[in-house]
Amino acid sequence: MTISNPNNERICTNLTVNEAASGSEFFVFQQVNAPSHRAKDTVALLYQETTDFIPPALWPPNSPDLNPVDYTAWSVLQERVYRTKISDVDERKRRINSEWAVLSHAVIERAVDEWCQRHHACVCTGGGHFEHML
């Protein structure tokens, strides 16, 4: 299956969300408010392919502090990608892909381990600032 956005970029190919989660004891497919995540075709696919899909109306409006990629992985990648000057967009893409490919799984595991603590803190503050609670 392939879903394309208006610019014909592949979003998902030959893998359903349920297939991605199969064999996993615990799996969370997290969406944020990125335009591609809210696209009609993307939302329709997720309704069809995921159990317990949370609709966009219930997503936090601005949730980088609740997204493991935002609060951990991107900062590690940014540090590595921008160590030296980048000449153009293609080089930036190559570096991001290269660094993502060698990113230690331990970085991701630490971010996911912190996820429950972050959600708990967010709930305790009623959705307000919670970084001081971490």
Report DSSP letters for the chain, one per residue. -EEE-TT--EEEES--HHHHHTT-SS------S-HHHHSHHHHHHHHHH-TTPPPGGGS-SS-GGG-HIIIIIHHHHHHHHTSS---SHHHHHHHHHHHHHH--HHHHHHHHHHHHHHHHHHHHTTTS--GGG-
Structurally, how many domains does the chain consist of? Answer: 2
Q: For 74-122, write each residue's pLDDT tens digit.
A: 889 999 999 999 999 999 999 999 998 998 888 888 888 888 888 888 8
Q: How far apart are CA 3 and CA 12, in angstroms?
A: 6
Whether the CB-CB separation of 56 and 45 falls below 8 Å is answered with no
Instruction: State yes or no: pLDDT of 14 exceeds 70.
Output: no
Q: Which domain holds residue 120?
A: 62-134
* Residue 110 and residue 52 in one domain: no
Domain boundary among 38, 59, 80: 59
Domain boundary among 11, 36, 59: 59
Instruction: State yes or no: pLDDT of 7 exceeds 60.
Output: no
Higher-confidence residue of 1 and 124: namely 124
Long-range interactions of 130-133: CB distance < 8 A, separation 24+: 130/65, 131/65
Q: How many CB atoms lie within 10 A of CB 96?
A: 15
- pTM for this one? 0.51
How confident is residue 25, by pLDDT bands cut at 50, 70 and 90? low
Residue 80: both structure tokens together: 């590595």
* pLDDT value of residue 9: 41
* Residue 53 and residue 66 in one domain: no
Q: How many CB atoms lie within 10 A of CB 75?
A: 13
* Residue 127 and residue 69 in one domain: yes
